[in-house]
Amino acid sequence: MTAPPQPDRISTAIRSLPVFRGVSAEDQRRLATIATIRDFERGDSVWREGDSADFLTVIIRGRIKIVRHAEAGDVILEIFGEGEPVGAIAVYNYMPYPASAVCLEPVSLLLLPRRDYFELLDRNPEFARAIIRELTKLVVGLTRKLEEMRGQKVETRIAQLFLTLASRMGRETKGGIEIPLRLSRQEIADMVGTTVESTIRVLSRWGREKVLVTGESRFLIPSRDRLVEVSEEGRSAER
């Protein structure tokens, strides 16, 4: 199958991305003239911590993890998927990226130069308000996640991680909720702030007990209620 010409691909992407639904057809066409699309493979770095945030980046296809590097080890702060802007807080605040972005799978990104994008916001107050709402939700979500992680048992943190992933990208199947995402044990450990050994112990036990079933490129939650119960049991033990 022949790949569509790049201008057609860009226009199609802009029309399909939820973040641009409030933009007029004229502004969508203008965006298409300044936008570019870049493709990445799993494991590729989109940017590194400290790089200049010169483009608004929106995911067309695939998922990206945001990684903060520290002396004690890497911490995965968030995972972004199709239709979501990535690194927007740095773009809006004219600051370097505070964390690195790495592809979890093959990824296609729409890139918009910051200066041209801000001109669009100045002309479209409704669109600007919609973007601000999305950024606010992102900041609140990240802050809540960091607060919830403090002092919690590893089992509780891992349960909450997979409950969050289930709500964001899970799909119902006959066997339970399927999360179509490939994550290594190290990546899971980085996301909840623990060691890979602790993660392996928890997931191995959950696999035997059918709390969470790990596949080659997916996870399966046979019973969401059971995973919620595990999470709540961990919370109760902390009190």
Q: What is the DSSP string of 44-80?
A: -EEE-TT----EEEEEEES-EEEEE--TT--EEEEEE
Q: Among residues of the chain, what percentage have pLDDT more than 90? A: 37
Question: Per-residue pLDDT for 3 more than 70?
Answer: no
What pLDDT score does 1 carry?
35
Question: Per-residue pLDDT for 94 more than 60?
Answer: yes
Structure tokens at 55: 């483009």
pLDDT average, residue stretch 107-135:
79
- Rounded-to-integer distance, Cα 20 and Cα 79, Å: 21
Return the sign of the alpha-carbon dihedral for residues 11, 16, 19, 24. Answer: positive
Question: Per-residue pLDDT for 148 more than 90?
Answer: no
CATH 2.60.120.10 segments of the chain = 6-147
CATH 1.10.10.10 segments of the chain = 154-238
CATH classification code of 154-238: 1.10.10.10
206-237 confidence digits (pLDDT tens): 999 999 999 888 899 999 999 999 888 755 45
What pLDDT score does 127 carry?
67
pTM beyond 0.85: the answer is no
Q: Among 21, 20, 51, 55, which Cα is nearest to 38's?
A: 55
Mean pLDDT (the chain) is: 83
CATH classification code of 6-147: 2.60.120.10
What pLDDT score does 239 carry?
45
